[in-house]
């Protein structure tokens, strides 16, 4: 059974299966590559330092993980938004298909599972299989053997294409496990800077394409997990899906250029640019959310109850709130929860987003706006 991907390219297709050589390739250390690595290293270090200083990292990590889940799933055609996912998790009925929400929710579950699993299991083929099983459980691709490496040939190309006119044909089943074994051996290699190794691993995984479905999402999960496995990041703070989605043609084009023309240097520079921009973007969003929370705490001090102050922290994890959900979270009566919500509405922290008097929905709109902003693709000169 073939995987007919939505990935397209204008380049001439080749129907011959491609078997990537084991990592690492020869790398030419051009001035551009050195500058790109330096820029990415500096910004990832700043992001890691910021994450280590957070008094409660889950306050920012939880919504950031969900943003990544939405954007990674969007690359594969899922239409759910970050607002819809957060609202659904808060118990709000949203106008979005259950399949889309389940796919995005599975990505969240897979990433959180992977982060926890790394405490006991190294990055390995076993972990990759477990991630895939979590990702594909109960969704449209669950026919594609969740957690199992493929036993048949697949290919990538426009809908309706065949292996003969596909854009890219990955290794045949008989070569698959050899390629994966080589990749697993490379996970703990220390011969190159870690960010370059992550770039190499991401390409290699996508080139091998070991599953019938879900390869792109698993490949993007591996970026974050590899950085955590190697202690580059203390928490899952860096995600590249927003960059890949915003530069989709470049992303697929540069991956294909490695397979067809061996252009590793162009791919690595592109990848490092994505790392730098997304680290910078993450720092900016985190700083602005922290500043907003600090401002709300100052403005609320001495004016609101302890329950309302706690509600500010809850809204930072998920800006959507229902009174019923708040009562359950704070373990208080419905009327007590209602007073806390309404006082934050009165001072401008929460906005009501529902129309009726029953099942009222509120949102910390300013936090949601920060989360929903498009990715930054141009360096912030003020930070350089």
Q: pLDDT per residue over 315-340, tens digit each?
A: 988 999 999 999 999 999 999 999 99
- Greater model confidence, 49 or 57: 49
Kindly indicate the confidence band of residue 215, based on its pLDDT and cuts at 50, 70 and 90: very high
Calpha distance 383→270 (Å, rounded): 20
CATH code at 357?
A: 1.10.10.10
Our count of domains for the chain comes to 2
Percentage of the chain lying above the pLDDT 70 cut: 91
Predicted local distance difference test score (pLDDT) of residue 11: 36
Q: Could you give the CA distance from residue 283 to residue 44 in angstroms, rounded to a whole number?
A: 9
**Given a cut of 80, is residue 47 above it in pLDDT?**
yes
pLDDT for residue 57: 65
191 plus 239 within the same structural domain? yes
> In this structure, are 332 and 214 located in the same domain?
no
pLDDT of residue 16 exceeding 70, the answer is yes
pLDDT of residue 139: 79
Q: What pLDDT does 141 receive?
A: 56
Rounded to whole angstroms, how far apart are CA atoms 106 and 302?
A: 41
Task: Encode 135-154 in three state secondary structure.
Answer: HHCCCCCCCCCCCCCCCCCC
Q: Are residues 72 and 200 in the same domain?
A: yes
pLDDT band at 376 (very low <50, low <70, confident <90, very high): confident
User: pLDDT grade, residue 96 (50/70/90)?
Assistant: confident
Does any domain span residue 348? yes
382 pLDDT above the threshold of 70 = no
Looking at the fold, whether 225 and 268 belong to one and the same domain comes out as: yes
Binned at pLDDT 50, 70 and 90, residue 381 comes out as low
Dihedral (Cα; 363, 369, 375, 377), 10-degree rounding: -160
Q: Identify the domain boundary among 284, 318, 333.
A: 284
Helix (H, G, I), strand (E, B) or coil at 105: helix
Whether residue 101 lies inside any domain: the answer is yes
Let me know whether 180 and 231 are in one domain: yes
| pLDDT of 216 strictly over 80 | yes
Q: Does residue 379 belong to any structural domain of this protein? A: no
CB 207 within 8 A of CB 227: no
- Tally of CB atoms within 10 A around 152: 11
Output the pLDDT for position 368. 94
Give yes or no: residues 157 and 273 share one domain. Answer: yes
Whether residues 215 and 360 share a domain: the answer is no
CB contact at 8 A, 294 and 286? no
- 306, two tokens: 């302890």
Based on the domain organization, do 208 and 317 belong to the same domain?
A: no
**Same domain flag for 155 and 243:** yes
**Tens digit of pLDDT for each residue in 245-286?**
999 999 999 999 999 999 999 999 999 999 999 999 988 988
In a domain, 25, yes or no: no
Do the Cβ atoms of 267 and 257 come closer than 8 Å? yes
Give me the CATH number covering residue 242. Answer: 1.10.3290.10
pLDDT grade, residue 292 (50/70/90)? very high
Same domain, 181 and 252: yes
Which residues make Cβ contacts (< 8 Å) with residue 40, sequence separation at least 6?
195, 272, 273, 275, 276, 279
What's the pLDDT score for residue 12? 38
Residue 54: burial class (beta carbons within 10 Å; 0-12, 13-18, 19+)? middle
User: What does DSSP assign to residue 363?
Assistant: E
| 3 is a domain residue | no
- pTM to 2 decimals? 0.89
Residue 296 domain-assigned (yes or no)? no
Reference 223, options 156, 101, 102, 131; nearest CA is 131
pLDDT of residue 354: 84
Does 315 share its domain with 242? no
- Structural domain containing residue 69: 31-284
End-to-end CA distance of the chain, in Å? 50
- Say if 20 falls within a structural domain: no
**DSSP of 294-356, one letter per residue?**
HHHHHHHTTTS-HHHHHHHHHHHH-SEEEHHHHHHHHT--HHHHHHHHHHHHHTTS-EE---S
Torsion of CA 139, 144, 150, 154, to 10 degrees: -110
Structural domain contains residue 233: yes
Together in a domain, 226 and 352? no
């Amino acid at each position: 059974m073939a995987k007919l991907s939505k990935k397209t390219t204008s380049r001439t297709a080749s129907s011959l299966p491609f078997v990537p050589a084991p990592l690492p390739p020869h790398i030419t250390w051009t001035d551009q590559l050195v500058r790109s690595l330096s820029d990415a290293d500096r910004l990832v270090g700043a992001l890691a330092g910021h994450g280590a200083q957070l008094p409660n990292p889950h306050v920012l990590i939880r919504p950031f993980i969900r943003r990544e889940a939405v954007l990674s799933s969007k690359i594969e055609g899922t239409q759910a938004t970050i607002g819809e996912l957060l609202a659904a998790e808060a118990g709000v009925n949203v106008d979005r298909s259950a399949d889309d929400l389940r796919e995005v929710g599975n990505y969240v579950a897979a990433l959180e599972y992977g982060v926890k699993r790394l405490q006991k299991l190294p990055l390995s083929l076993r972990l990759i299989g477990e991630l895939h099983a979590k990702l594909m459980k109960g969704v449209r691709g669950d026919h594609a053997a969740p957690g199992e490496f493929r036993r048949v040939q697949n290919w990538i190309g426009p809908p309706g294409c065949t292996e003969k006119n596909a854009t890219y044909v990955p290794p045949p089943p008989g070569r698959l496990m050899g390629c994966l074994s080589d990749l697993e051996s490379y996970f703990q290699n220390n011969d190159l800077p870690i960010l370059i190794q992550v770039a190499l691993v991401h390409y290699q995984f996508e080139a091998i394409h070991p599953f019938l479905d879900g390869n792109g999402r698993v490949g993007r999960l591996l970026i974050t997990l590899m950085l955590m496995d190697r202690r580059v990041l203390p928490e899952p703070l860096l995600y590249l899906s927003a960059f890949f989605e915003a530069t989709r043609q470049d992303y697929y084009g540069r991956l294909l250029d490695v397979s067809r023309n061996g252009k590793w240097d162009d791919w690595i520079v592109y990848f490092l640019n994505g790392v730098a921009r997304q680290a910078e973007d993450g720092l900016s969003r985190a700083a602005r959310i922290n500043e907003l929370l600090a401002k709300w705490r100052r403005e609320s001090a001495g004016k609101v109850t302890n329950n309302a102050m706690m509600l500010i922290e809850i809204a930072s994890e998920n800006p959507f709130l229902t009174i019923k959900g708040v009562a359950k979270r704070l373990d208080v009566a419905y009327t007590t929860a209602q007073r806390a919500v309404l006082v934050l509405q009165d001072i401008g922290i929460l906005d009501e987003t529902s129309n009726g008097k029953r099942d009222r929905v509120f949102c910390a709109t300013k936090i949601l706006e920060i989360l929903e902003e498009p990715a930054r693709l141009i360096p912030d000169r003020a930070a350089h």
